[in-house]
Homo-oligomer: A and B are copies of this chain.
């Protein structure tokens, strides 16, 4: 089953377009969780246990594991393996390099770690993204318009183009990514902090492209407008990613139940709007 089918199946089964970020941050862990990779592993597994019926996907961010060196990569693999097989895993790693190098990143993510999708940076162009696209069953989640304030620095720069061409870099990236979608495995990242552009981009790319939408919660994006603007005509394929505001709700021993409560609150809103 390819990534998109697996994603839709999980979303319909759990009645949810919520994706929970799994980003271990030792400065935010509950008080009684040991700050070793063993302690963190149990913490993340407990949160997975209490949220796995509420999500359409999980998104571990590689940076938060890489901070621990090789132990962190073992932890990342352990967490990926622990996630129920029916829930897709999106590895957030924002990779991209010349062809022979991107092939190695693809091996690392899709073969060694065995994730279902990977975030990819488009700055270097097609030949750097193609080695990921060649994995037909894997999702290639291309950065388009990101949720951070400095996304304006380059992504929102106006381009000199003809009448029917996109007018800003992020629009060109979206349109170009569509042209790369021969294997029906392209997805885009568009931040929840840009609701207008999200709606415009959903129209631009049509109904078949999953959009990963970070920025609801800690970064200030709005859930309802993200769903309304990001979903396709069927009310699908807007993946709402929330990390800190589900993972780090409580520093007490009730953290897993509190994570579930926060996830459920978000999912209830999603269900009210889309299911």
**CA gap between A236 and B96 in the complex, in Å:** 29
Is A172 in the interface zone, CB < 8 Å from B?
A: yes
Contacts of A121 in B (CB 8 A): 94, 96, 121, 123
Is A127 in the interface zone, CB < 8 Å from B?
A: yes
A151 touches B125 (CB 8 A): yes
CB contact between A105 and one of B63, B105, B107, B112 (< 8 Å): that residue: B63
Stretch of A10-18, A140-148, A226-234, A265-273 lying at the B interface: A140-148
**CA gap between A95 and B61 in the complex, in Å:** 12
**CA gap between A159 and B166 in the complex, in Å:** 12
Contacts of A105 in B (CB 8 A): 63, 66
Is A155 in the interface zone, CB < 8 Å from B?
A: yes
A154 touches B70 (CB 8 A): no
B104 touches A124 (CB 8 A): no
**CA gap between A172 and B154 in the complex, in Å:** 8
Against B, the Cβ 8 Å flags (1 = close, 0 = not) of A153-191 are 111011110000000010011001000000000000000
Given the known interface contacts A63-B105, A104-B66, A107-B67, the answer about A151 and B124 at a Cβ–Cβ threshold of 8 Å is yes
CB contact between A96 and one of B71, B94, B152 (< 8 Å): that residue: B94
For window 109-145 of A, CB contacts with B under 8 Å fall at: 112-113, 121-128, 143
Given the known interface contacts A70-B71, A101-B64, A160-B159, the answer about A127 and B112 at a Cβ–Cβ threshold of 8 Å is no
Shortest distance in angstroms between A85's beta carbon and chain B's nearest beta carbon? Answer: 20
Is A102 in the interface zone, CB < 8 Å from B?
A: yes
Shortest distance in angstroms between A131's beta carbon and chain B's nearest beta carbon? Answer: 10
For window 36-91 of A, CB contacts with B under 8 Å fall at: 61, 63-64, 66-74, 77
Shortest distance in angstroms between A50's beta carbon and chain B's nearest beta carbon? Answer: 24
**CA gap between A122 and B112 in the complex, in Å:** 27
B125 touches A152 (CB 8 A): yes
Contacts of A63 in B (CB 8 A): 95, 97, 101-102, 104-105, 108
Q: Given A63-B105, A69-B77, output 10 extra A-B contacts at Cβ < 8 Å.
A: A61-B104, A63-B104, A67-B108, A73-B73, A98-B147, A98-B219, A121-B123, A125-B152, A128-B150, A160-B160
